[in-house]
Structure formats: C-alpha cells, structure tokens
Amino acid sequence: MDLVPYILLDSSVLTNGMRVLVEGVDTAQFEKNPVMFYVHEDYTLPLGRWVNIRKENGMLLADAEFDEDDDDVYVKRILKKVKKGYIKMVSPGLVDLELSDDPVYRIEGQSDYTVVRCRIREASIVPIGRNHNALRLFDKQGKEISLSDPDCGLRLSDFIVKQKIQEKMSKKYLQILNLSDDASDEMVERAVEKLSADKAASDAKVAAYEKKEADQRKAEALNLTDTAIRDGRINANAKEQVLNLFDKDFEGAKATLAAIPVPAKIKDLNLGDQTSEQKVLEAMNWDQLDKSGKVLLCKDSYPELYKAKFKEKFGKEPKMD
C-alpha cells in the first residue's frame, strides 16, 4: 500500500462531550517514535508507522506507512480490512492532559472539559473511535471519504488526567475575592465589580497625585531657572535648555544650578578706601567686566589693566588697535 493520509485529531466535540485543542497537542516525542498500533494495543508489535506528521487548518494530520512485509497473520488480516475500506478510523493515544472548564473554550454541543494541553503517545487504527473526524482522508483510488460517519472519535481510556487546573484556580480567585468556596455566581460577580470599581478609584487617586507632583516640580523648576537668570548665574537665552534638563532629570538639574556661584556685584566687592574707577575695575575679573559691560571702558581708559585682564583670561596678550 502507498502512504495513506489520515486526520489523527481535530478540535470537534467527542462522543463523551469533551474536545481537544489541536494547537495544545505536543507531538515532539511522537515524531521521534511514531508507532502505529491496533486499538492502542501497545503490548503487540506495531502495524506500521506515521510519517509527515503536521498541523494544518486546525487538524493534526499524518500519513500511514503500513508494514506490508510483516508475515504475521493477525497483522495481514488487519491491513487487508484497512485496504478494503472496512476499517477507516484512527485514534490518537493522548497523555499528560491538562483540562479546563473555562467557558471561553466551549463550543456548541460540548458538555464536558476541554483538553487545553496534552502529549500524543501513539496513534492507532480503530474500527470505531470517539472523534467523528479522525478518519482516513482518501481511499486507495484517491476518492475523498465523508467525515460524517457517526460513533467515532478520540479514545480516552488510557489517559493520565492531571488535577483540574481550573478548579484549583477558581479556589484561588475566591480567596482573593474574600469569598467562601460555595459562593454563588451572583456573589462572585458583585465582588468582581467592587474590585474593579476600587481599582478604578485607586488608579484615579494615583493619577491625581502624580499630576499634582508633576505640576509642583514644574513650578519649582521654573522658579529656580528664573532666579538663576536674575542673579546672573545663567543667560536668559538658556532658559528653555535648562527647563528641558529639569524634565529629564529634576534632581540633577537642581543640583547643577545650585553649584553655579552667584557673580559678585561691584557694590558687594570689599574695596576698602579704594573708590576710584580704576580700583573698581581692578577688583573685577574678565567675566565680571564682560557681564557689566565695562570691557570697552577698561580697554579705552586703562589699556594696561585691560591687557592684564585679557591675558589672565585667555593666556595671551591682546591685539591693541
């Protein structure tokens, strides 16, 4: 026989009311050892193997490669019935199940848990299964087989079912809501609504506090910047630059401004009895002369003093016109 395509599993409802999410089926180990049994009899030798294992359009698909060289009478008898189309179905053996009764997974006609995660251990040829769509896709002539046959589907008899994680999570949520295990749906709904309202109120308070704090910082930054301009520590043209620094690093900008010394004013200089214009200019450094607009006065009236101040500032003699 040539390779025969099969649907191993889809996410339709099984005859026992459950369903399996195909996207949650782990095939890694199965792909390493893709054995094929008859009705999950893993104590017997396999009938063949599965190849081209893949997930497409919400279905777990594989191609059957039957061991037609097996001389065992039992094997030959089964393969003969498969070849003639008397046996058309397959059934995957799933283990390590995680179940959920969350309504988000429910579909029409489903009455029991949803298998959200599991591992496929093997896949068997079966006369009747529990998954209506776990059928051979084509017969040996290439004709598509109908997927509407009744009483077929996934076999769950050898499943190792884990603790119902949804039940465990539900108890945890009831504890968070401060409700007893027998709380009604209405009580849960009211508790959730209250929790949501409390969170919204808390978020609003936090937002109001953060806005108030931001406004206070902005006002303080503006005041510190204006003060620095008034007392001559920074140039007025740098105001926007300094305010941007406050936006990026408030404490850093505040410390930087505080570290800039306030320039000495002429009236604050300790001149003793030296009150002449020259003595006043001598007491000032180049930056103070520049900010007070007295550089030209010093150059025109006291050229030697000008040269000394220039050299002190720039380290070289000025060019005198």
Q: Is there a domain that residue 239 lies in?
A: yes
- Please report which helix (H) or strand (E) contains residue 289, including its range: helix 286-291
Q: Are residues 223 and 95 in the same domain?
A: no
- Same-domain pairing of 110 and 17: yes
Co-location of 220 and 85 in the same domain: no
Q: What are the phi and psi torsion angles at 268 (to 5°)?
A: -90, -10
Whether 290 and 255 map to the same domain: the answer is no
User: What's the domain range around 212?
Assistant: 197-259
43 sits in the region (left: phi over 0; alpha: psi -120 to 50; else beta) called alpha
Distance (Å, rounded) from C-alpha 210 to C-alpha 206? Answer: 6
Tell me, yes or no, whether 117 lies in a domain: yes
In a domain, 177, yes or no: no
- Name the one residue in this structure whose structure tokens are 């190792």: 160
Reported as a pLDDT band with limits 50, 70 and 90, residue 62 is very high
Which one of 164, 189, 224 terminates a domain? Answer: 164
Would 171 be classed as within a structural domain?
A: no
**Is residue 173, in this structure, part of any structural domain at all?**
no
Cβ contacts of 63 within 8 Å, gap of 6 or more: 3, 4, 5, 6, 50, 51, 52
Rounded to whole angstroms, what are the CA distances from 137 to 64, 88, 132, 141? 11, 9, 12, 11
* Nearest one of 13, 77, 6, 59 to 36, comparing CA atoms: 6
Q: Is residue 45 in some structural domain?
A: yes
Decide if pLDDT at 129 tops 60: yes
* 242 and 115 belong to one structural domain: no
Confidence of residue 1 (pLDDT cuts 50, 70, 90): low
Residue 118 placed within a domain = yes
Q: Does 12 share its domain with 115?
A: yes
The answer to whether the CB of 246 falls within 8 A of the CB of 253 is yes
Q: Return d(Cα 70, Cα 184) in angstroms, integer.
A: 61
Residue 321 in domain: no
Question: CA-CA distance, 93 to 33, in Å (whole number)?
Answer: 13
- Angle formed by the axes of helices 250-259 and 185-230, nearest 10°: 20
Q: How do residues 213-250 score in pLDDT, each as one tens digit? A: 899 989 998 999 988 888 888 888 888 998 999 999 99
252/283 same-domain check: no
Same domain, 73 and 113: yes
List the structure tokens of 181.
């295990």
44 with 141, same domain: the answer is: yes
Regarding whether 90 and 29 lie in a shared domain, the answer is yes
Number of domains composing the chain: 3
In a shared domain, residues 206 and 243: yes
Q: Of 96-100, 152-156, 199-203, 276-280, which gets the smallest average pLDDT?
A: 152-156
Q: Are 18 and 39 members of one domain?
A: yes
Q: Which residue, 140, 164, 188, sits at the end of a domain?
A: 164
pLDDT digit string, tens, across residues 27-57: 999 999 999 999 888 888 899 999 999 999 8
